A and B are shown apart, each in its own frame.
Chain A
């Protein structure tokens, strides 16, 4: 299906640094979801956002549902080696998910 615009495509960061990524869309969504996928595994849900303007945290992860309902960002604070992986955003309006292309995060010690 149609892809969202997710950036950056990849990030190489040092352990302890913060990570930010975002997604934008030309369409309005009712739900924004952030997933992490490790090699050979299915995506794991990190954060789900259901209201415009909502800011939600899950441990070191923070995500926001943009006021316009057309964008969302994900922040990871104080990165650790196990944060390595591909992060996908997805938008939904009680139908099919529309995915971003993913952000590859590499954490170096």
Chain B
């Protein structure tokens, strides 16, 4: 149980285009999901908290207009990187908390974004 999927697993795009990443909780409902960014050989950096049915909460320094988050259902959150630039290239990982379970986050497999 407690499986989280992400799609796509890797994406290459041209500078200036937008990229959407999906995060799904497959066997549980998640009112709260989280989006992280991870640089090589570093720990995970929280970007934003995604709340079902309401606006996401962004961490300091994360541009909400650049990283659009939508949490339209209890099993799906999306992160859209708008007008992507090479510096946005990174490993993006989502996590989900089971709404009916204990305080535990389950992570997706990650999405490798490369912006040319």
- Are A and B subunits of one complex? yes
A50 with B103: CB separation less than 8 A: yes
Q: In the docked arrangement, what's the CA distance between A31 and B109, Å?
A: 23
CB distance from A4 to the nearest CB of B (A): 9
Which chain B residues (76-114) contact chain A, with CB distance < 8 Å? Answer: 91, 93, 95, 102-110, 112
B43 with A88: CB separation less than 8 A: yes
Q: In the docked arrangement, what's the CA distance between A87 and B99, Å?
A: 26
Residue from the list B2, B34, B44, B110 in contact with A40, Cβ < 8 A: B110
A48 at the interface (CB under 8 A from B): yes
Residue from the list B2, B104, B109 in contact with A33, Cβ < 8 A: B104
Among A93, A96, A101, find the residue whose CB has the most chain B CB atoms closer than 10 A: A96
A3 at the interface (CB under 8 A from B): yes
A108 at the interface (CB under 8 A from B): no
Residue-wise, chain A 1-44 has the 8 Å CB interface mask toward B (1 for contact) of 10100000000000000000000000000110101000011111
* Contact A99 to B110, CB < 8 A, known contacts A1-B59, A42-B93: no
B43 with A44: CB separation less than 8 A: no
User: How many of chain A's residues touch chain B, expressed as a range?
Assistant: 20 to 34
B contacts, CB < 8 Å to A: 2, 4, 6, 34, 42-46, 49, 59, 91, 93, 95, 102-110, 112
Q: In the docked arrangement, what's the CA distance between A88 and B107, Å?
A: 13
A96 with B109: CB separation less than 8 A: no
A33 with B107: CB separation less than 8 A: no
B43 with A31: CB separation less than 8 A: no
